[in-house]
Amino acid sequence: MFSLEGKTALVTGASGGIGSAIAYALARQGARLALSGSNGEKLRVFREQLQDEVGGNHVEITCNLSDSQQVEELVPATIDTLGGMDILVNNAGITRDNLAMRMKDEEWDDVIRINLEASFRLMRAAARPMMKAKGGRIISITSVVGTTGNPGQMNYVAAKAGLAGMSKSLAQELASRNITVNCVAPGFIRTAMTEALTDDQRAGINSRIPAGRMGEGGDIGAAVAYLASDEAGYVTGQTLHVNGGMAMV
In a domain, 37, yes or no: yes
What pLDDT is stored for residue 191 in this prediction?
A: 83
In a domain, 50, yes or no: yes
Closest by alpha carbon to 103, among 156, 159, 163?
156
Closest by alpha carbon to 76, among 36, 23, 110, 42?
36
What pLDDT is stored for residue 197 in this prediction?
A: 77
168: left (phi over 0), alpha (psi -120 to 50) or beta: alpha
In a domain, 164, yes or no: yes
The rounded distance, in Å, linking the Cα atoms of 214 and 244 is 7
What pLDDT is stored for residue 136 in this prediction?
A: 98
Which residues span the domain enclosing 70? 8-188+218-239
In a domain, 52, yes or no: yes
What pLDDT is stored for residue 164 in this prediction?
A: 98
What pLDDT is stored for residue 196 in this prediction?
A: 74
Our count of domains for the chain comes to 1
Catalytic residue among 24, 156, 226, 234: 156
What pLDDT is stored for residue 229 in this prediction?
A: 98
In a domain, 125, yes or no: yes
Helix (H, G, I), strand (E, B) or coil at 115: helix
What pLDDT is stored for residue 192 in this prediction?
A: 75
In a domain, 107, yes or no: yes
> pLDDT tens digits, residue range 201-224?
889 889 999 999 999 999 999 999
| Strand order through the sheet with 179-186 | 59-62, 32-37, 8-12, 87-90, 136-141, 179-186, 239-242
List average pLDDT for each run of 10 residues in the chain, which is 249 residues long.
93 94 98 96 96 96 96 97 97 95 97 98 98 97 96 96 98 98 96 79 91 95 98 98 95
Look up 226 and say whether it is catalytic. Answer: no
CATH of the domain at 101: 3.40.50.720
In a domain, 13, yes or no: yes
In a domain, 109, yes or no: yes
Count how many residues are written for the chain: 249
What pLDDT is stored for residue 71 in this prediction?
A: 97
The rounded distance, in Å, linking the Cα atoms of 44 and 24 is 15
